[in-house]
Amino acid sequence: MNSQGSPSTVSSSPLRPRERIQELDVIRGFALFGILLVNMALFKSLVDEFALKTPADMSSLADQVGSWVILLFAESNFYAIFSFLFGLGFYIFLERVAAKSMAPTPLYSRRLVGLMLFGLVHLVFIWTGDILFTYSVIGFLLLVFRRVRLDALAKWIVALFVLAVLIEGGLFFILALVEVFLGDKVGAEQAAMMEQAVKIFKQGSYLDILLYRLSWEVWGAVFQIVYWMPSILAYFLCGLYAAKRGIFKDVEGNLPFIRRVWRWGLALGGFFTLLNLLVGTEAISLSSLWQLPLMRLINHAGAIFLSAFYVSSLVLLLRREIPKRVLSVLAAPGRMALTNYLSQSVICVFIFYGYGLGYFNQVSVWGGIGLTAAIVSLQVIWSNLWLARFNYGPLEWLWRYFTYRQKPAMKPVPFKGPSA
């Protein structure tokens, strides 16, 4: 390094494992498996089947109960946590890069391009429920907010959340209007298309399913970016806000704030969850035109607070010895979140699609919950075994290599003892 601290002369080395914040890895591992619980319904059945349904529409009581559990306590909550962590990680990444006298923006941009490539491969060749491509595109917007003051950041967060909730409710209101006024006209045609799609996913070869995906599903990813942008960016900014406040840099010093978040998250998250249940079970009677849109709006609003409750609960539990020991097993899968997220898709499409075991459209809600538990257990075991020998997950290593253009040390450096 020269006397001016020129970025060009400083090694752009990747973040070392010992620099990680364990709380964030545990929270990331927790969110990763909650995402699988929600995604399982989309792996094993058509998305369109759920567009205008509530848990009460399920055929069996057991599936109704399972659907309520997922809707009220999982749906929207875990991608919210994942998005929060992305925004927080953005700030940590830039600060650590800048501390090494490197130019942070080019490295961050390469990091996002790498994520975009992973997302494109996932989206096109594995499964269209990908979120990585969307994150990579919206992630560039974070650069605009890097130096925004905390008070202004809070205003942006509130405005984006209001917009996101209105978009969610408005979209489902439009879908409900279409169902009411054009349901008979489009019902038969849609049923025929869904029957053909089920046949392709259940019995088709890899090429059949790939062609169907390219023809009908991939283009929805563009709409997904527009649709999710206000919500995901709001959660990104929540993470940025937490990082700027130094909450995870000094957890002990911020415990009063974390406890306030916990109390408000429980109170408001609980309120919206109960309200959603009352509307969905028709304890609060509404016309069919309003029921589902209102449920979606309430669910989206509730997730803002319930996800904050989950994160703050984990942080507080990690301050206690026994819960910390139990929860620490999630740190390894959290450190390998990219590898585990993509491997979840590979496992699930093999189970459900025609070129694998072909169980598409045959697994119940509770069967999906059981599969989620099994996959989660395997990933916890293999992640801990892998990271006992290596510094990074395989795809994390590749991502770092792409970002820094320098091979990270895959195996830990042996301890040689103090120098003489």
Residue 317 and residue 22 in contact, taking contact as beta carbons nearer than 8 Å: no
Q: 258: buried, middle or exposed (CB in 10 Å: 19+, 13-18, 0-12)?
A: buried
8 confidence band (pLDDT: 50, 70, 90): very low
182 confidence band (pLDDT: 50, 70, 90): low
**From 8-22, 286-300, 330-344, 345-359, the region with the lowest mean pLDDT:** 8-22
Task: Please state, in angstroms and rounded to a whole number, the distance separating the CA atoms of residues 157 and 244.
Answer: 14
Q: Which of 165, 187, 148, 316 is nearest to 231 (CA)?
A: 165
Query: Residue 312: pLDDT above 70?
Result: yes
> In the predicted model, what is the mean pLDDT of residues 30-57?
81
> In the predicted model, what is the mean pLDDT of residues 333-348?
97
> In the predicted model, what is the mean pLDDT of residues 211-220?
87
**From 115-124, 195-204, 288-297, the region with the lowest mean pLDDT:** 288-297
What average pLDDT is seen over the chain? 88
Give per-residue pLDDT as tens, 263-305. 999 999 999 999 999 998 889 888 878 888 898 899 999 999 9
Measuring CA to CA, how many Å separate 303 from each of 132, 138, 231, 339? 20, 20, 11, 26
415 confidence band (pLDDT: 50, 70, 90): very low
Query: Residue 181: pLDDT above 80?
Result: no
Give per-residue pLDDT as tens, 88-116. 999 999 988 888 878 889 999 999 999 99
**Overall pTM surpassing 0.85 (yes/no):** yes
Task: Please state, in angstroms and rounded to a whole number, the distance separating the CA atoms of residues 273 and 307.
Answer: 12
> Cβ contacts of residue 389 below 8 Å, gap of 6+?
411
174 confidence band (pLDDT: 50, 70, 90): confident
Query: Residue 311: pLDDT above 80?
Result: yes
Task: Please state, in angstroms and rounded to a whole number, the distance separating the CA atoms of residues 53 and 179.
Answer: 11
Query: Residue 152: pLDDT above 90?
Result: yes
pLDDT confidence of residue 2: 39
pLDDT confidence of residue 419: 38
Query: Residue 400: pLDDT above 50?
Result: yes
pLDDT confidence of residue 343: 98
Q: Which of 88, 74, 72, 71 is nearest to 30 (CA)?
A: 74
Question: CB neighbours (10 Å) of residue 289?
Answer: 14
Query: Residue 3: pLDDT above 60?
Result: no
**From 70-79, 113-122, 178-187, 396-405, the region with the lowest mean pLDDT:** 178-187
Residue 288 and residue 52 in contact, taking contact as beta carbons nearer than 8 Å: no
> In the predicted model, what is the mean pLDDT of residues 72-95?
94
355 confidence band (pLDDT: 50, 70, 90): very high
416 confidence band (pLDDT: 50, 70, 90): very low
Residue 36 and residue 344 in contact, taking contact as beta carbons nearer than 8 Å: yes
